C-alpha cells in the first residue's frame, strides 16, 4: 500500500492537533508529543523502520551577533535543546 500525503504542516504541534481531531496519522519525534498538551488523546507506536537523524541549525542575522539579549536567547535555546535531546540515562 502506498503512502498518501493529504496534509503538510510546518509545526509538530499542529500535526498532533490535526491527528487528535481526524482519522489521519503522522510521524514526529516522540518528545514533541508531551508538549502538545494532548498526549492523552494520541496513540504512540514505534516506527517499523529506521529513520535517519535530522540535522537542525539555528540561524540569525549578523547584525544581532553581539547583542546581549540575542546572545542570552541563543544560549537559553541551546541549553533547552541539550536537555531535551540528551541521551536517556
Q: Is residue 4 part of a domain?
A: no
What confidence tier does 73 reach under pLDDT thresholds 50, 70, 90?
very high
CA pair distance 8, 6, nearest whole angstrom: 7
CA pair distance 13, 37, nearest whole angstrom: 9
Query: Is residue 4 left, alpha or beta, with left meaning phi > 0 and alpha meaning psi from -120 to 50?
Result: beta
Predicted local distance difference test score (pLDDT) of residue 82 = 87
Q: Is residue 71 part of a domain?
A: yes
Q: Is residue 73 part of a domain?
A: yes
| Percentage above 90 pLDDT, the chain | 43
CA pair distance 61, 40, nearest whole angstrom: 39
**Which residues form the domain of 58?**
12-46+54-84
CB 17, CB 38: distance < 8 Å: yes
Q: Is residue 72 part of a domain?
A: yes
Q: Is residue 33 part of a domain?
A: yes
Could you give the dihedral angle defined by the CA atoms of residues 80, 42, 26 and 89, in that order, rounded to the nearest 10 degrees?
40
Q: Is residue 62 part of a domain?
A: yes
Domain count across the chain: 1
Give the residue among 21, 25, 33 at the shortest CA–CA distance from 5.
25
Predicted local distance difference test score (pLDDT) of residue 33 = 84
Residue 56 pLDDT greater than 80, yes or no: yes
Amino acid at each position: 500500500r502506498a503512502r498518501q500525503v493529504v496534509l503538510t504542516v510546518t509545526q509538530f504541534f499542529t500535526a498532533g492537533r490535526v491527528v487528535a481531531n481526524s482519522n489521519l496519522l503522522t510521524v514526529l519525534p516522540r518528545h514533541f508529543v508531551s508538549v502538545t498538551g494532548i498526549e492523552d488523546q494520541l496513540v504512540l507506536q514505534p516506527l517499523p523502520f529506521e529513520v535517519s537523524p535530522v540535522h537542525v541549525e539555528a540561524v540569525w542575522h549578523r547584525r544581532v551577533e553581539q547583542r546581549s539579549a540575542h546572545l542570552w536567547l541563543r544560549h537559553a535555546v541551546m541549553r533547552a535543546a541539550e536537555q531535551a535531546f540528551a541521551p536517556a540515562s
